[in-house]
C-alpha cells in the first residue's frame, strides 16, 4: 500500500473551536472586501446568522443568500451565481449543511466559468480559477468542507452527480461545534451515518493509502464512539467529536474515494426523495456483508476501532438512531436504471470488491425484500 496518494489537496486553513465562526467575516477579509454568505433557513431562524453578519470589520460589503430547499439543484446554482455576480463578490462563504456547502462551493468554483453550470455537471472541465471559498458546517456528516466536489441534481434529467475540481477546495474551514446546537435529531442521525459510511468506505477503498487509512480509522472511532450520545443529547462534548470525525472522514475520502454505498445512494435518493445520509446508513450493513471477504484484515481493524464486531455495531447503531429501512416492502422503481447508474458511479469503481450487476441486484433484494 502506498503511503501517500498521487495528490493531496487539503483546505488551506482550518480553525477549530467553540465560537470560532463568529470571526468568519474577519477571516474572509483577507480574500477581499465584498463577500456573499450562503446559508440555510434554520441558521437565520435560530438567530445564529445575525451575530456573524454583524461582527464585520469596517469597509466590508457582505450580502446574505438563503438556500430554501434541501438537495441543491442546478437551478439553485444558476440563481446563486447570478446573485454572486451581481454583488461582484470577491469570495463566497457557505455556512450550513452539506447542501448549502455544496451550492456555495460550486458557486465559488464556477464564478468566472463561461458556460452554464449544466455543462460542468455533464463533465466539462473548469477552465478558469474561481473565487476563494470558506466552508462552515452546521451539521456533522457530509465532509463537504474537506472535499473538492459539489453534489448537485439536474431536476430535468434527475441525475445527481458531482462537479469535481481541485479548485473547489475550501481556502478556509471553520469547525465550530456551537453551530450544531440546533441540529434536528433526524439530521444528526442521517448526517452522522453519512460520515460513518464515508469513513468506512474510504478506509476500505481500493485506492486507500496509509494516510487516508489513518484519517479514516480515526474518523470511524470518533463517530462510532460519540454519534449516539450526540443524537440523544447525552454529552455536550459529543457534537465536537462527531464534527471532528466528519471532517477527518472528508479528508480521507477526498484521497481514497468511496464505495458501492455511495454508488447506489445517489440513484436511490433521487428516485425515492430520501436524505442522502439516510440512504447511506440503511445500505451500509448490506454493503459490508457484500464486501466482507474483499475487506480482508480491514474488517478486524474497523471492528477494533469501534470496540465490537463491525457488522453488529452498524446494525445496532441503526436501531439506536431510529433508522429503519424506508425501502422494505416497497416496489423497486426503474430497477435496470438503478443498476446501470450504480455500476457507472465513480464511487462504485473504488469499492473493494469489483461490483457486478448481480451484486447490485443482490443489494436491492436485501434493501427492498420483506
Ligand atoms: Fe456521503
Q: Kindly report, residue by residue over 221-258, the tens digit of the pLDDT.
A: 999 999 999 999 988 899 999 999 999 999 999 999 99
Cα(108) to ligand 1 centroid in Å equals 21
Predicted confidence (pLDDT) per residue in 5-14, tens digit? 999 999 999 9
With vertex at residue 27, the alpha carbon angle to CA 32 and CA 253, rounded to the nearest 5 degrees, is 105
Per-residue cell: 23: 470571526
- Which long-range contacts link 144-147 to residues 24+ away (Cβ below 8 Å)? 144/98, 144/101, 144/102, 144/105, 144/250, 145/11, 145/101, 145/170, 145/173, 145/175, 145/247, 145/250, 146/10, 146/11, 146/170, 146/173, 146/247, 146/250, 146/251, 146/254, 147/250, 147/253, 147/254
Predicted confidence (pLDDT) per residue in 16-29, tens digit? 999 999 999 999 99
pLDDT for 239? 97
Element of type H or E holding 172: strand 172-175
Per-residue cell: 186: 433526524
Residue 94 — pLDDT band, cuts 50, 70, 90?
very high
Total-model pTM: 0.96
Cα(147) to ligand 1 centroid in Å equals 11
Cα(32) to ligand 1 centroid in Å equals 32
CA distance linking residue 247 with residue 223, whole number of Å: 11
Q: Report the sign of the C-alpha dihedral through residues 28, 135, 62, 107, in that order.
A: positive
> Phi and psi dihedrals of 227, rounded to 5?
-65, -45
DSSP string covering 43-71: HHHTT-HHHHHHS--TT-EEEEEEE-SSS
Residue 71 — pLDDT band, cuts 50, 70, 90?
confident
Q: Name residues with Cβ closer than 5 Å to ligand 1, which is an ion.
A: 194
Segment 177-196 mean pLDDT: 96
CA distance linking residue 150 with residue 251, whole number of Å: 15
CA distance linking residue 75 with residue 67, whole number of Å: 11
Cα(279) to ligand 1 centroid in Å equals 9
Amino acid at each position: 500500500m502506498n503511503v501517500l496518494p498521487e495528490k493531496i489537496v487539503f483546505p488551506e486553513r482550518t480553525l477549530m473551536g467553540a465560537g470560532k465562526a463568529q470571526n468568519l467575516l474577519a477571516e474572509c477579509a483577507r480574500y477581499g472586501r465584498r463577500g456573499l454568505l450562503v446559508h440555510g433557513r434554520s441558521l437565520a431562524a435560530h438567530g445564529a446568522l445575525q451575530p456573524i453578519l454583524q461582527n464585520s470589520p469596517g469597509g466590508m460589503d457582505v450580502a446574505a443568500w438563503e438556500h430554501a430547499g434541501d438537495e441543491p439543484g442546478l437551478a439553485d446554482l444558476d440563481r446563486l451565481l447570478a446573485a454572486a455576480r451581481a454583488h461582484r463578490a470577491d469570495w463566497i462563504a457557505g455556512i450550513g449543511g452539506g447542501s448549502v456547502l455544496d451550492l456555495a462551493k460550486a458557486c465559488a468554483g464556477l464564478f468566472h466559468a463561461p458556460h452554464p453550470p449544466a455543462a460542468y455537471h455533464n463533465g466539462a472541465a473548469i477552465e478558469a480559477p474561481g473565487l476563494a471559498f470558506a466552508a462552515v458546517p452546521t451539521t456533522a456528516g457530509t465532509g463537504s468542507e474537506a472535499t473538492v466536489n459539489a453534489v448537485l441534481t439536474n431536476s430535468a434529467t434527475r441525475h445527481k452527480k458531482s462537479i469535481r475540481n481541485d479548485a473547489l477546495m475550501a481556502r478556509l474551514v471553520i469547525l465550530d461545534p456551537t453551530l450544531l446546537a440546533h441540529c434536528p435529531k433526524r439530521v444528526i442521525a442521517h448526517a452522522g451515518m453519512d460520515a460513518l459510511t464515508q469513513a468506512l468506505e474510504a478506509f476500505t477503498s481500493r485506492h486507500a493509502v496509509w494516510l487516508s487509512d489513518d484519517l479514516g480509522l480515526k474518523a470511524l472511532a470518533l463517530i462510532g464512539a460519540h454519534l449516539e450520545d450526540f443524537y440523544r443529547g447525552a454529552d455536550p462534548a459529543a457534537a465536537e467529536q462527531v464534527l471532528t470525525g466528519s471532517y477527518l472522514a472528508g479528508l480521507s475520502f477526498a484521497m481514497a474515494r468511496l464505495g458501492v454505498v455511495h454508488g447506489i445512494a445517489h440513484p436511490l435518493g433521487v428516485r425515492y426523495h430520501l436524505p442522502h445520509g439516510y440512504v447511506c446508513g440503511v445500505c451500509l450493513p448490506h454493503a459490508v456483508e457484500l464486501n466482507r471477504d474483499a475487506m480482508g484484515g480491514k474488517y478486524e481493524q474497523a471492528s477494533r476501532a469501534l470496540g465490537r464486531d463491525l457488522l453488529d455495531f452498524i446494525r445496532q447503531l441503526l436501531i439506536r438512531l431510529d433508522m429503519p429501512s424506508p425501502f422494505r416492502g416497497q416496489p423497486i422503481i426503474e430497477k435496470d436504471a438503478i443498476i446501470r447508474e450504480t455500476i457507472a458511479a465513480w464511487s462504485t469503481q473504488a469499492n473493494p470488491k469489483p461490483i457486478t450487476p448481480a451484486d447490485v441486484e443482490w443489494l436491492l433484494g436485501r434493501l427492498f425484500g420483506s
